[in-house]
Amino acid sequence: MEKTLVLIKPDAYTKGHSGDIIKIYEKEGFRIVAMKLMKMTKNLAQKHYVEHIGRPYYEELEEFMTSAPLVAMVLEGEDVIARVRKLNGKTNPAEAEEGTIRKLYAESAGRNAVHASDSPESAAREIHIFFNETEIYD
């Protein structure tokens, strides 16, 4: 079974949408194999968003992601990476399809409620930034 990292970002967490978002993933049949509430540090943000460091928007991204708690999860399921990304919707909620998580809960393209890994390689790297093997239940 494929795994992916999902982050319920500070905007969605502070507005009390975590449970609603988790319920959407569970209704889709994904299994939560790891989950924790945490506050992202600058060091963790730099590891997670390494490919974005130096880009014009990076400082704002880092500030946002470290501003409040977030929920980190590992979801498991068949074709979970592609299916979760479809469920999340386009980055800009104005362009996201009706019923997607971002259409329902995102504020803007920058405050877009959720993150999900975009490939098996990214998922493998990202999961282990947030979780060690003893925290993932197979």
| Sequence-separated contacts (24+) of 50-59 with Cβ below 8 Å | 57/110
Q: Which residues pair with 74 in a beta bridge?
A: 5, 34
115 is catalytic: yes
Which among 17, 48, 52, 115 is annotated as catalytic?
A: 115
For the annotated catalytic residues, the residue numbers are 115
